[in-house]
Amino acid sequence: MAEPKVKPAKREAGKSKFRLPERVPRPAEENPLRELLREARTQEEALEAGAKPAPSRGRSTPAKKSAGVVEAPAKRPDAPQALTAAPAADSPLYTFAEFSRRWSPILRSGQMGVCRALFEMTYEQGKTECFTSMPKLAAAAGIKERQCYNVVAQLELLGFIERPDIFNTPTQKGTIFRLYMEPRPPAARSERRYHIGGDES
C-alpha cells in the first residue's frame, strides 16, 4: 500500500525559507573629521545666537584626542591681541612638523602637501599670506593642477586655508592664500573678493 503524501509546510507571505546568519553589529568608530565639523557648527550657531562660543583651546574634545593635539600654553597678558606678522618659523607652535603631527590623522597626503607648500610660502618667509597661482602651488605640492583645485576646495571647507582675493587682471593673475594652523569656523572666515579686468566684484 502506498504511503500517504506528506503535505509541505504552508509558506507564510513575506517569509523566506532561507535564513541568513545574523550580522554582528559593527563597533562605533570615532571619526575625528566628523567631530571637527560638529565643533565648527556649534561655534557658528553660538555666534549666530549672539552668545560667546566656549573656547576650544582650554578643553579636550574627541577630535583633539584623536589628532593628538597638545594644548598650547596660555597667552601672556602683555602679548599683542593681533599678529601683524607671522611668528618665527622656529617657534614650536608654528612648525610644520607640529602641524603635521596634529592633523595627519585627518588630512590626506595631497592635502598635507598643499599645506606644506603654503607653510613654506608664508610662515617660513615671516608672512601670514602669500600670492601665487594654482599651477605653481600644484608644482610646489607635488600634485597635478586639477587635483590641486579639489584639494584647495576641501581645505577651505575644513577651515585650514582661505582665499580672500582672486586676481585675473592684465597686471595680476593669481590668488592670495592664507594658511591657518588650526581650522577656523565658517563664521570667522572672510568674504572672497574677485578682481577681474581691473574691476572688483
Sequence-ordered alpha helix ranges (H) in the chain: 32-48, 62-67, 96-103, 109-121, 134-141, 145-158
CATH class of segment(s) 36-46+87-183: mainly alpha
pLDDT in tens, 139-183: 999 999 999 999 999 999 999 999 999 999 989 999 999 999 999
DSSP state of 144: -
Query: Tell me, what's the pLDDT at 197?
Result: 79
3-state class of 164 per DSSP?
Answer: strand
3-state secondary structure 30-42: CCHHHHHHHHHHH
72 and 57 Cβ atoms separated by less than 8 Å: yes
Q: Rounded to two decimals, what is the model's pTM?
A: 0.54
Task: Compute the distance between CA of residue 112 and CA of residue 97 in angstroms, rounded to an integer.
Answer: 11
Residues 6 or more apart in contact with residue 68 via CB below 8 angstroms: 101, 102, 105
pLDDT in tens, 90-105: 444 568 999 999 999 9
